[in-house]
Amino acid sequence: MGLSHDIRSAINPILPYLPHILASLLLLSYVKAWYGLRQFRGPWPAGFSYLWMATVVGGGRMNIKFNEVSKQYGSRLARIGPEDLITDDPDIIRHMSSARSTYYRSEWYAAARLDPYVDNVISEMDNASHDKIRSQIAGAYAGKENHHLEEDIDEQISSFISLIRRKYLSSGANLRPMDFGRKAQYFTLDVLTKIAYGDAFGYLKRDEDVHEYIETIESMMPSITFFSCVPLANNFLNRSWVRKAFGPSPMDKKGVGKLMGVAQRVVSDRYGANRKEKMDMLGAFVRHGLPQRRVEAEVLLQIIAGSDTTATGVRATMLYLITAPRVLQKLRAEMDDAEATGAISSPITNAEAKELPYLQACIKEGLRMHPPFTGLILKRVPAGGDVIGGQFVPGHTRIAHNTWAVQRSTIYGDDPDMFRPERWVEADADMKVKMERNLELIFGYGRFGCLGKSIAYIELNKIFVELLRRFDIEVVDPTKPLWNSVNFNMHLQHHQWVRISEREARQSQL
């Protein structure tokens, strides 16, 4: 009782000044946050709190906003948070991600733990553990253990064509509009599930969002993007008691818990006494020693990382093609000449597609104009700090990739904001190498590079030829937005309404 009285007696004289004390402490915390990176320019609110960054990533246009930051405050390093910088300098990005780099993963990666109880190859924070798991699964992503990879992709392209002819083929005044954005994602999901698990889930055959996957991803990506960028929020989310109290369960009927249950079912028959062995990606994971629970986490990641990004590559490039008549005409002329001379098969092979220079230029230009993944991929500077471009960057600072801005570099010429595939054909040998090295950064770099890049390119090499050799594809209403597209690390895109008809010049041949 006496101690309590003494405490009150000590506090009472301070009470009138308490608001001023709290305000001073808050101001001091803001000044401290700003001071460490005071030499770097950026939006002034970004230096004091994460409110500015949270607002940007929550607005669905983070790719555009961060591009504006690099333009206004400097492309090498600009400030976007209390301990955060962003770069669109390719050399800095390579420096951070090289095999011998001492930079390490920030909390940004932890937010990619889609199964909140088990890490995957992206969310694994420890570099040594990440390198080990990556080496175990790299062969599977390269397609080395799936001897029918191309045939499996061809099968899903055939299913896509069948869906169009079955439900969405227009003729004359008979309009049967198709949301190309949604169907492109059905296509990449069926490709992924076929080559990874041996059987396509049937998005194209059923023409529906199987397991409500797309609905789930579109609902969760804004929060994942927020948690990936704000360290305090991420640290709270990953506390064990929070996961235990609020985390999803494979028994859930909706959301990520339902997808966890799907992953469990997909994986379950590959383990145990009666396990099935298949020459697919999942079989490769098992053969390389991944435990069952870890494979379940990788499967959950695969469905997102292996389908959404490639879907964006398909729908964005197709949009650029059908809204650029000159480019489309030139691409079709190359395709038709190749077919007439027997240079391409039906379906086209990956090797044949690589020999069509204008097709390759269109694919590269589509990826450059609309990089499928624009997450900040924040890495931390080593404890001792680093000197970048003559500026000292304190240890533990987070540095983000500005992928969108990297692909609008003047290395591509004076018109980097324009879709012009000719730049890839006109460039001399040295410049083309520089451009291609720059383009490759959309897939990450070095030890953190995208594992599924080669599979994505096979899909892109095939899909445009197989659709455009058969169909005329037009925008339904050019007076309206060409699609509904928002950006939360990845692009969520639909309502890309098109009219598809049999290609008039080819009807008698196909």
Query: CA 86 to CA 57: how far, in whole Å?
Result: 14
The pLDDT of residue 25 is 45
Mean pLDDT of 57-67: 95
Mean pLDDT of 91-112: 91
Give tens-digit pLDDT for 470-489. Answer: 999 999 999 998 999 999 99
The pLDDT of residue 79 is 96
The pLDDT of residue 20 is 47
Query: CA 365 to CA 371: how far, in whole Å?
Result: 10
Mean pLDDT of 214-232: 90
Query: Which tokens is 483 given?
Result: 């699609």
Neighbours of 134 (CB within 10 A): 17
pLDDT level of residue 412 (50, 70, 90 thresholds): very high
pLDDT level of residue 508 (50, 70, 90 thresholds): very low
Spatial contact of 297 and 118, defined as CB atoms under 8 Å apart: yes
Residues contacting 103, CB < 8 A, separation 6+: 95, 96, 97, 379, 380, 381, 382, 399
Residues 245-267, buried b or exposed e (16+ Cβ, 10 A)?
eeebebeeeeebbbbbbbbbebb
Given a cut of 90, is residue 42 above it in pLDDT?
Answer: yes
The pLDDT of residue 244 is 78
pLDDT level of residue 130 (50, 70, 90 thresholds): confident
Mean pLDDT of 288-299: 90
Domains of the chain by range and CATH? 127-371+407-506 (1.10.630.10)
Mean pLDDT of 255-274: 88
Given a cut of 80, is residue 306 above it in pLDDT?
Answer: no
Find out whether 450 is annotated in a ligand binding site.
Answer: yes
Given a cut of 50, is residue 29 above it in pLDDT?
Answer: no
The pLDDT of residue 402 is 96
Given a cut of 70, is residue 148 above it in pLDDT?
Answer: yes
Neighbours of 25 (CB within 10 A): 10
Which phi-psi region, left, alpha or beta, contains residue 349 (left: φ > 0; alpha: ψ -120 to 50)?
Answer: beta
How long is the chain? Answer: 510
Query: Which tokens is 329 given?
Result: 């005409």
Residues contacting 255, CB < 8 A, separation 6+: 216, 219, 220, 248
The pLDDT of residue 506 is 57
Per cent of the chain over pLDDT 90 is: 62
CA-based diameter of the chain, in Å? 100
Rg (CA), the chain: 25
Give tens-digit pLDDT for 341-387. Answer: 999 999 999 999 999 999 999 999 999 999 999 999 999 999 999 99
Give tens-digit pLDDT for 207-222. Answer: 999 999 999 989 989 9
Mean pLDDT of 92-103: 92
Given a cut of 60, is residue 27 above it in pLDDT?
Answer: no
Containing 472, the helix (H) or strand (E) segment is strand 471-475
Query: CA 26 to CA 304: how far, in whole Å?
Result: 40
Query: CA 243 to CA 115: how far, in whole Å?
Result: 10
Q: Which of 225-229, 298-302, 437-441 has the lowest mean pLDDT?
A: 298-302
Per cent of the chain over pLDDT 70 is: 92
The pLDDT of residue 65 is 96
pLDDT level of residue 48 (50, 70, 90 thresholds): confident
Alpha helices per DSSP H over 142-179:
149-163
Structure-model confidence comparison of residues 3 and 77, the more confident one: 77
Q: What is the pTM of this model?
A: 0.91
3-state helix/strand/coil string of 270-323: CCCCCCCCCCCHHHHHHHCCCCHHHHHHHHHHHHHHCCHHHHHHHHHHHHHHHC
